[in-house]
Structure formats: structure tokens, C-alpha cells
Chain A
Amino acid sequence: MSELRKDLVSGRWVIIATERSKRPDDFRPGGAVAPAPEAVGFCPFCEGNEAKTPPEVFALRTAGTAPDSPGWTVRVVPNKFPALTPGPPPPRATKGIYQSMEGRGVHEVVIENPDHALELADLPVDHLRDVLGVLQLRIRAIERDLHYQYVQIFKNKGKEAGASLSHPHSQIVATPIIPKRVKEEIYGADRMFRTLKECVYCRVLREEEAAGTRIVSKNAHFTAFAPYASRFPFEMAVYPRRHSAFFTEVRADELVAMAETLKDVLTRLKKTVGDPPFNMVLHQAPNPSLPLKRWTDIHLKSHWHVEIIPILTKVAGFEWGTGFYINPVPPETGAQFLRQP
């Protein structure tokens, strides 16, 4: 029999099809591998093609190398053709019952390494830590401007996950409003805080670590697990074990542990289901410098974390129509496969 499971924070229900769970091999993309870099042809993110991107806003580079030239290890550039343009947001326009505002914001691309073929999971831990450190730096720099209420970090890997270029990269989008989904998450965390009298994420972490059935990877600072109400097969969440609402508060030693965890879980995912496309999203509280009167004590109730969604199934009519997701792999089964050495 299938089971309906409720996600504590969003209140979203998921149908877990426990009776006929699929195995990892059912999702392998027919043994297909990512196209070789030489087959891709020109790539604007590859080392040597710096002239094809806008001037870099930040780069980790070898001493003595000039900006926008080879010699970098991590490079951040603004979007060349952005949908959102930087600047203070003008007042909202009203037309009858409709409201609109100009698309103001920041859109940057973080090129994770100069090598087209090296995915995040393939990078040495030190390099992965550098990527995470650069993300922290950019968030801090963007959040200095209070016009940007929310900074979203995400990574799309593979065409099915929305990536238009296979060169490994992440994206940073800062918006002048707090997106609806983020608000829903804050409201959910607030509601659960009042019920549990503690951060819901800290409680979930404690329960998951005690049960162990959905744990995928764990070290001194981070725990990766398959969420109880996972919407997708092999979905994972990476939580910091120390409570914090903001990714920018992660300390240097914790950043190394985070790099180790990400490398571990992404490698496990690759081994288990054959290098699938995925989305990786950072969830955190809005710009900490904002005067958020509506959400008092947000730093106590929010808990930053990373969500990894492998794209192995398609979201179809039923999901769109009802908001219910049907997950053919129980998270306990998914975690068991992912834990295998």
C-alpha cells in the first residue's frame, strides 16, 4: 500500500509508493554518459575564452595573472544577457487589478573550475571548499545592498535539470522581493517553532540521526539524508548540524566538512544512479540586514540547508494539478542504496 507523508515545514503531502519501489537501475539513463568536452565545441566558460564573458566580479587566480585572463580556479561573472538588471527597484506599477515591477536584481554565474569535464563531485575537497567560500563572499557582497532581499544559489546539472551548458557552474540570483516559496518556508518553520518550541530543522536532524534509516552521509558538522517526505527518487538534504539561519555564517572548518559531505553525496549519487541530471538549491533566510518585523527571531527558526533533487522522473499533470508528488522510491530505500560503499 502506498503512504501519504507530510513535509513538516511546507505542509506539502507526498505519496510514497512503498509497494512497488523501483531500484536504482530503473533510473539509469541507458548507460549514456555526458558528452565529451571536445564534442561540445566552443564553450564560453572554458579557460582561454574569458573575452566572451562580461568582466569578472571575482576570481580566485594564480598570483600575477590579470583579471579576465587564464590562470583562475574559480571565476564569477555577471550574466551577459540578464533577465534582471542591478539597481534599486522602482515602485510597483498598478494596472487595474494587476501589479508589476521592473525586473531588478543580480544574476551571476560561478564557473566552478576551468576544466570543462570536471564536475563538482570530481573536484578535490580543497577546490570544492574554495567554490563554497566564493559563494559566501558573493552573498555577503550582494547582501550589503538592502535592495536585495533574498539571494538564491542554485546549480543545474544536465540538460534535463535546465543547464544549457555542460561546463560545471552554479548561479546566484538576488531578488528585490522575498520569493513566495521562501516565504512559505519561513511561515512553515515559524508555525513548527511554535508547536515544537525549537527549530524544526534541528528537531528533524535529531530524529533522523537517531533513526538512521534515511541517513546517507554524516561527519562532525553536516548530515545528509533522504527527507521523510521526499518528493523525488534519491532526493537528499544536507543540513549543518550547528543551528544557523545563514550560509554566510559557516566557519572555515565547517566549510571543509561541507565540501567533504557534498563530494561524498554527489559521488554516491553518481555511483548509484549513473550520473543523473540534478538540481542543487541552497535554502537560507532572507538578507540578514533587512528589518524583518513580520518574522521576529527568524535566526532561531530558519536553518539553512542544501536540497539535491536528481531528475529521474517527470513532474506531470497530477503533480501540477494537486501539488501531490508521487515518489516511486521510498526514501529509506533510496538512502539504503546511496549508503552502499
Chain B
Amino acid sequence: MKKKILLVEDERPLCLLYEEELSRDGYDITAVTDAEAALAKLGETEFDLIITDIRMPGKNGIELITQIMGLRKDIPIIINSAYQSYKDDFMTWAADAYVVKSSSLDELKAKIRQLLGD
């Protein structure tokens, strides 16, 4: 069965790129553009992994992962941000990996494989 990934990314073009790339790799991708929508999806579906941006309108990614911890601590989370600086925030430790956005998705894909045990 396909592993289910929840992608939280407010930039629509990036969302489409990730969806296309990760679906091609055999994952079932659900993409949302803000934290509230992500929390709603988490109530509906059992995801195997979450990828989230940090800077988003409304709740940011760190607030989102903090809330997710209150629901489920076992779900692997990857922070995918364009900014290194959020690494200084110890709340990012709630996530399992921190991948800085780049034009190549190799590092992100490697982390997904590692965390899903593929």
C-alpha cells in the first residue's frame, strides 16, 4: 500500500512540484496550504509522514508541529524551510528532520525514505 504523506506548503507552485515528484516516487500525497487545513486533514486520515514549511500565513510550521505533538507524537515530521535560522528554535526538535529548501529534492527524498524505512 502507498505510504501517505501530508504536505503543508503555502506556495502553490511548490506544492504542485512536490506533489508531482513525490507521487512519481510512489507516495500518496495530500497537499494543503496552511496549518488549520493540515490539522483538519490529520483528523480525517492516518498519515505516515508530514512535511511542513515554517513561514506560512496564519499558524506557522513550528506552532503546527507543537499542536501535532499534542495529538500524535509518533508521526515523523520533516521541516522543509527556505531558512536555516529556524534551527535556532528548539521547538523544531519536535520534528525528526530539517531540510533546507533547494532546487534539488534529493535531500528531502532521502530523508523521507530514511524516516519511512524504505
Which residues of A are interface residues toward B (Cβ below 8 A)? 41-42, 44-45, 49, 51-53, 80-83, 109, 164-165, 169
21 example contacts (A-B, Cβ-Cβ < 8 A) are as follows: A41-B66, A41-B67, A41-B69, A42-B70, A42-B73, A42-B94, A44-B90, A44-B93, A44-B94, A49-B73, A51-B73, A52-B73, A80-B92, A80-B98, A83-B84, A83-B87, A83-B88, A164-B90, A164-B91, A165-B91, A169-B90
In the complex, B89 has a CB within 8 A of chain A:
yes
Inter-chain contact B94/A81, CB cutoff 8 Å? no
Name the distance in Å between A16's Cβ and chain B's nearest Cβ.
33
| Bound Cα distance from A315 to B73, whole angstroms | 40
Name the distance in Å between A53's Cβ and chain B's nearest Cβ.
6
Contacts of A44 in B (CB 8 A): 90-91, 93-94
Contacts of A109 in B (CB 8 A): 90
**Which residues 60-108 of B sit at the A interface, judged by CB distance below 8 A?**
66-67, 69-70, 73, 84, 87-94, 98
Inter-chain contact A81/B92, CB cutoff 8 Å? yes
Contacts of B87 in A (CB 8 A): 81-83
Contacts of A49 in B (CB 8 A): 73
| Bound Cα distance from A49 to B70, whole angstroms | 12
- Contacts A44-B94, A80-B98, A82-B87 supplied; 15 other A-B pairs, CB < 8 Å: A41-B69, A41-B70, A42-B69, A42-B94, A44-B91, A45-B90, A52-B73, A52-B93, A53-B93, A80-B92, A81-B87, A81-B98, A164-B88, A164-B89, A164-B90
Question: Which chain B residue shows the least CB distance to A164?
Answer: B89
| Bound Cα distance from A109 to B92, whole angstroms | 14
Question: Which chain B residue shows the least CB distance to A162?
Answer: B88
Name the distance in Å between B21's Cβ and chain A's nearest Cβ.
24
Contacts of B88 in A (CB 8 A): 83, 164
| B93 CB contact (under 8 Å) in A41, A80, A83 | A80
| Bound Cα distance from A42 to B70, whole angstroms | 7
Name the distance in Å between B10's Cβ and chain A's nearest Cβ.
22
Name the distance in Å between B63's Cβ and chain A's nearest Cβ.
9
| Bound Cα distance from A302 to B93, whole angstroms | 37
| Bound Cα distance from A196 to B90, whole angstroms | 45
Contacts of A53 in B (CB 8 A): 93
Name the distance in Å between A148's Cβ and chain B's nearest Cβ.
21
Name the distance in Å between A284's Cβ and chain B's nearest Cβ.
24
Name the distance in Å between A20's Cβ and chain B's nearest Cβ.
37
Name the distance in Å between B83's Cβ and chain A's nearest Cβ.
12
Name the distance in Å between A167's Cβ and chain B's nearest Cβ.
8
Contacts of B94 in A (CB 8 A): 42, 44, 52
Inter-chain contact B66/A42, CB cutoff 8 Å? yes
| Bound Cα distance from A44 to B90, whole angstroms | 8
Name the distance in Å between A142's Cβ and chain B's nearest Cβ.
20
**Which residues 8-24 of B sit at the A interface, judged by CB distance below 8 A?**
none
| Bound Cα distance from A44 to B95, whole angstroms | 10
| Bound Cα distance from A202 to B11, whole angstroms | 59
Name the distance in Å between A75's Cβ and chain B's nearest Cβ.
13
| Bound Cα distance from A81 to B97, whole angstroms | 8
The 5 closest A-B pairs by CB, nearest first: A42-B69, A44-B93, A164-B89, A165-B90, A81-B87
Contacts of A164 in B (CB 8 A): 88-91
| Bound Cα distance from A49 to B89, whole angstroms | 17
Contacts of B98 in A (CB 8 A): 80-81
Name the distance in Å between A254's Cβ and chain B's nearest Cβ.
31
Name the distance in Å between B17's Cβ and chain A's nearest Cβ.
24
Contacts of B69 in A (CB 8 A): 41-42
Question: Which chain A residue shows the least CB distance to B68?
Answer: A42
| Bound Cα distance from A82 to B98, whole angstroms | 10
Question: Which chain B residue shows the least CB distance to A80?
Answer: B93
Interface-central residue, A45, A53, A164, A169, by most chain B CB under 10 Å: A164
| Bound Cα distance from A44 to B92, whole angstroms | 9
| Bound Cα distance from A109 to B89, whole angstroms | 12
| Bound Cα distance from A238 to B16, whole angstroms | 57
| Bound Cα distance from A169 to B90, whole angstroms | 11
| Bound Cα distance from A164 to B62, whole angstroms | 11
